[in-house]
Chain A
Amino acid sequence: MEHLSVASPAGIVLSLDAVLILLLALACLGSKLFDRYLTYYGLQSVLLAVAAGTAAFVEKDPALWALAGLTLVLKGIAIPEAARRLLVRRLDLKRDVATIVGPSTSLILGAILAGFAYLVIGPQHLAHGLISASIIPISTAVILIGALAMVVRRHMVAQLLGWLIMENGVFLGGITLTASFPFIVEAGIFFDVVAGFLIMLAMTTGLAESLIPLSDRRRREPT
């Protein structure tokens, strides 16, 4: 898979797909609305499923097809939908104000990180004309942007989304480099992500509920 040429049809699809994934990570970083975070993340996961599907098509590997399907259903639909219902709507989250820097500064930092990823893992270090040379720097950039989102945002839901974006970045790299990864490893990583999401979901809800009495008390106090 990593020996696939960039110029082949599958290579072109994968490269375009990866660029869109990077753009969605940046879009998420530049947004301030919780609802948008989820939309961008869901779209990004759908594109990830397309990447996995392309890899499955090239490798003719049923396990990869299964992984593409799982990505689409769980990451593309179930996780964003669950987060939207259980977190954003229930806790009535609209604008994310708990950020250390504003969206435009975040975007500039994100762009710097993307450039940094290209410098460090520049295609010059990887074999020329192969798909890995074009995708590995992109996936590294997505990982760094996800990490940046976790650092500049203080809100729990926003940090959770940052982590999910990081995971998508790793997965993108994983699909390209490692169609030869043993399936048990890919599936295991996948389920770790889902379990992590569920635990974080439970903790966010728990914390939000334990904080509600406090805010009620504040509301009742004359100001």
Chain B
Amino acid sequence: MIFLPISAALAPLLGTVAGLLTARARLAGLLTIAGGAICLVLSATTAAVVMAGQPIESVGSLVYVDGLGAFFALTIAVVILLSSLGSLSYLAVEQRSGALSPRRVRVYFAVFGFFATGMMASVETANLGLLFILVEAATLASVVLVPIEGRTSGLEAGWRYVVVSSMGITMALAGTLFVFYAATGLPGDPQDHLAWAFLVRHASSLSPVSLRLGFLLAVVGYGTKVGLVPMHTWLPDAHSEAPSPASAMLSGALLNVGMYAIIRFIAIANGRLGPAYASHVLLVFGFLSVLVGALFMVRRRDFKRLFAYSSVEHMGIIAIGLGFGGLLGVYGALLHALNHSVGKTLLFLTGGSVVLAYGTRRSDRIGGVLTSLPVTGATLLLGSLAILGSPPFGLFISEFTIVRAGLAAADPTLVGVFLLLLVVIFLGFFRTTSGMALGPAEPRVHSPYLGALERWTAHAPVVLGLAALLLLGLWVPGWLNALLLRSVELVR
């Protein structure tokens, strides 16, 4: 069974091959989409196999997929497929307009596949050292995508991204070392001491001093990847400067990979230090992130930066859910991770169409999207409502679950503050995006896409994503519920 997760992780490399073979965005895009589709099918099969029986495990736990890993692999695969659809149309337009040279198109697709593979592989290993290597490799690949449109501001954003996240992830490596050290003296092959499955089983005999230090370093380190405040400084720059489909991958998938790593460390720490310790750490980071996200979302002119700050906020919400803990808290946090991935991917892809049509990211220069580009305008409005947690979309359910967890576990004033911040965010965010979507149409603006292929690949992922969010808001399917419950068991 081990070939299933391995081939799921390797499937997106089809895009890399495509990028090496051809510089034509349409052809390379089609191959990348094929890779993404295979990846999603194989991830779903992997999840089904894991749910039907035991975790998939190789010798030495280098490959290891349990419920939680399968769940995150599935969310990442969904984002990869949606973004690769969006990549085709976005890059085809940019190539036609001359904004991207053929060489840059090649680099984009080659790196896109590598980036996707790195993320898929990250959630399919039990080895904490390998987890670090894969997350770092995926990050380094994603760094290449940020400045690909050739602006100096993009290079600067890419530089800040690579420096801050390398620094953070080095902290995570130090944390990994301390957790490994906490396991010295445990029975078994020392090679196993890096496997979190082993560490969770033997958590009660880990040394608490180095475990506490290791946990903190890991949360700060992987928290830098997740964009938890105050380690978020690189995120708005990188996510707004990258081409929109790459922004979707960064926000929708890579942030989740960082969160996944933190969740694994929580599972280890809870076994020895008790749930209160990790809970306090996460609540502090979570509330800070939502607060700073809220403050920076009010009157933000660059709408891609607005989306990026919204990612900071949502990662904060996930951290708060994990911090509230319990069945409801963890369940809500995981469901929110899935909902946010889909929602943010569709928003960034919609934003990509807007950028291509209007040639600017400044929201005060954009108006009447709904009239000029009806599909894009509608998805912009509905996508904004969805990401802000309005019913009947999925994010409403997951945020509601987290609020219920908070009322059950924590001080009601804490929940009150949380809700207040969400209201501020709603006003700040929706004011900007509704201003873009409504208003008088600009006569010179027309759809940037030529031909059925470009139109379909631009609109399909957005409409599909919106439909998925609507579905998740009305009903969590039985298999997803089972997968989530299995995952929650692994964390608590």
Q: Which residue of B lies closest to A132 (CB)?
A: B181
Q: A178-B177, A199-B144 are in contact. Are A188 and B129 (CB under 8 A)?
A: yes
Q: Are B163 and A185 in contact (CB under 8 A)?
A: no
- Candidates A150, A170, A189, A199; contact of B133 at CB < 8 Å: A189
- Candidates B132, B133, B155, B190; contact of A206 at CB < 8 Å: B155
Q: B5 near A: Cβ within 8 Å?
A: no
Q: B152 near A: Cβ within 8 Å?
A: yes
CB distance from B196 to the nearest CB of A (A): 14
CA distance A203 to B166 in the complex (A): 14
Q: Are A150 and B177 in contact (CB under 8 A)?
A: no
Q: Are B170 and A182 in contact (CB under 8 A)?
A: no
Q: Are B129 and A150 in contact (CB under 8 A)?
A: no
- Of A69-77, A90-98, A107-115, A159-167, the stretch lying at the interface with chain B is A159-167
CB distance from B211 to the nearest CB of A (A): 11
Q: Which residues of B contact A166 (CB under 8 A)?
A: 167, 170
Q: B174 near A: Cβ within 8 Å?
A: yes
Residues from 180 to 213 in A contacting B, C-beta threshold 8 Å? 180-182, 184-186, 188-189, 192, 195-196, 199-200, 203-204, 206-207, 210-211
Q: Which residues of B contact A204 (CB under 8 A)?
A: 159
CB distance from B155 to the nearest CB of A (A): 5
Q: B158 near A: Cβ within 8 Å?
A: yes
- Candidates A125, A181, A192, A211; contact of B194 at CB < 8 Å: A181
- Of B83-91, B135-143, B428-436, the stretch lying at the interface with chain A is B135-143
Q: Which residues of B contact A138 (CB under 8 A)?
A: none
Q: A2 near B: Cβ within 8 Å?
A: yes
Q: A203-B155, A210-B152 are in contact. Are A121 and B213 (CB under 8 A)?
A: yes
Q: A140-B174, A188-B130 are in contact. Are A180 and B191 (CB under 8 A)?
A: yes
CA distance A178 to B62 in the complex (A): 17
CA distance A203 to B159 in the complex (A): 7
Q: A103 near B: Cβ within 8 Å?
A: no
- Candidates A185, A188, A196; contact of B166 at CB < 8 Å: A196
CA distance A170 to B177 in the complex (A): 8
Q: Are A156 and B133 in contact (CB under 8 A)?
A: no
- Candidates B159, B177, B191, B210; contact of A174 at CB < 8 Å: B177
Q: Which residues of A contact B155 (CB under 8 A)?
A: 203, 206-207, 210
Q: Which residue of B lies closest to A171 (CB)?
A: B173
CA distance A204 to B156 in the complex (A): 9
CA distance A189 to B174 in the complex (A): 12
- Candidates B60, B162, B181; contact of A182 at CB < 8 Å: B60
Q: Are B152 and A199 in contact (CB under 8 A)?
A: no
Q: B447 near A: Cβ within 8 Å?
A: no
CB distance from A165 to the nearest CB of B (A): 10
- Candidates B62, B130, B156, B167; contact of A150 at CB < 8 Å: B167
| Residues of B within 8 A of A (CB-CB), count | 37
Residue of B130, B155, B210 with highest tally of chain A CB at under 10 A: B155
CA distance A136 to B133 in the complex (A): 22
Q: Are A203 and B158 in contact (CB under 8 A)?
A: yes
Q: Which residue of A lies closest to B131 (CB)?
A: A185
CA distance A22 to B364 in the complex (A): 53
Q: Which residue of B lies closest to A120 (CB)?
A: B213
Q: A63 near B: Cβ within 8 Å?
A: no
Q: Are B174 and A173 in contact (CB under 8 A)?
A: yes
Q: B147 near A: Cβ within 8 Å?
A: yes
Q: A147 near B: Cβ within 8 Å?
A: yes
Q: A188-B130, A211-B152 are in contact. Are A206 and B147 (CB under 8 A)?
A: yes
Q: Are A143 and B130 in contact (CB under 8 A)?
A: no
Q: Which residues of B contact A195 (CB under 8 A)?
A: 137, 140
CB distance from A31 to the nearest CB of B (A): 20
CA distance A186 to B176 in the complex (A): 13
Q: Which residue of B lies closest to A190 (CB)?
A: B133
Q: Are A177 and B181 in contact (CB under 8 A)?
A: yes
Q: B32 near A: Cβ within 8 Å?
A: no
Residues from 186 to 213 in B contacting A, C-beta threshold 8 Å? 190-191, 193-194, 209-210, 213
Q: A132-B181, A196-B162, A199-B162 are in contact. Are A185 and B129 (CB under 8 A)?
A: yes
CA distance A186 to B132 in the complex (A): 11
Q: Which residues of A contact B177 (CB under 8 A)?
A: 170, 173-174, 177-178
- Candidates B60, B136, B181, B210; contact of A196 at CB < 8 Å: B136
Q: Are B159 and A207 in contact (CB under 8 A)?
A: yes
- Candidates B62, B144, B156, B191; contact of A207 at CB < 8 Å: B156
Q: Which residue of B lies closest to A166 (CB)?
A: B170
CB distance from B199 to the nearest CB of A (A): 14
Q: Are A163 and B170 in contact (CB under 8 A)?
A: yes
Q: B348 near A: Cβ within 8 Å?
A: no
Q: Are B163 and A163 in contact (CB under 8 A)?
A: yes
Q: Which residues of A contact B191 (CB under 8 A)?
A: 180, 182
Q: Which residues of B contact A184 (CB under 8 A)?
A: 62, 130
Q: Are A192 and B143 in contact (CB under 8 A)?
A: no
Return the CB mask of B206-226 against A: 1 if under 8 Å, else 0: 000110010000000000000
Q: Are B159 and A182 in contact (CB under 8 A)?
A: no
Residues from 433 to 449 in B contacting A, C-beta threshold 8 Å? none
Q: Which residues of B contact A178 (CB under 8 A)?
A: 177, 180
CB distance from B137 to the nearest CB of A (A): 6
Q: Which residue of B lies closest to A150 (CB)?
A: B167
Q: Are A150 and B184 in contact (CB under 8 A)?
A: no
- Candidates A2, A132, A189; contact of B132 at CB < 8 Å: A189
Q: B127 near A: Cβ within 8 Å?
A: yes
Q: Are B174 and A170 in contact (CB under 8 A)?
A: yes
Q: Are B130 and A185 in contact (CB under 8 A)?
A: yes
Q: A206-B147, A206-B155 are in contact. Are A192 and B140 (CB under 8 A)?
A: yes
CB distance from A29 to the nearest CB of B (A): 15
Q: Are B129 and A181 in contact (CB under 8 A)?
A: yes
CA distance A166 to B221 in the complex (A): 13
CB distance from A119 to the nearest CB of B (A): 12
Instruction: Please give 20 more A-B residue pairs, beta carbons under 8 A apart, in addition to A189-B133, A196-B140, A211-B152.
Output: A125-B209, A132-B181, A143-B171, A163-B163, A170-B170, A170-B174, A173-B177, A174-B173, A177-B177, A177-B180, A180-B191, A181-B129, A181-B194, A185-B194, A192-B133, A196-B136, A199-B162, A200-B159, A200-B163, A207-B155
Binding site for A on B (CB under 8 A): 60, 62, 127, 129-130, 132-133, 136-137, 140, 143-144, 147, 152, 155-156, 158-159, 162-163, 166-167, 170-171, 173-174, 177, 180-181, 184, 190-191, 193-194, 209-210, 213
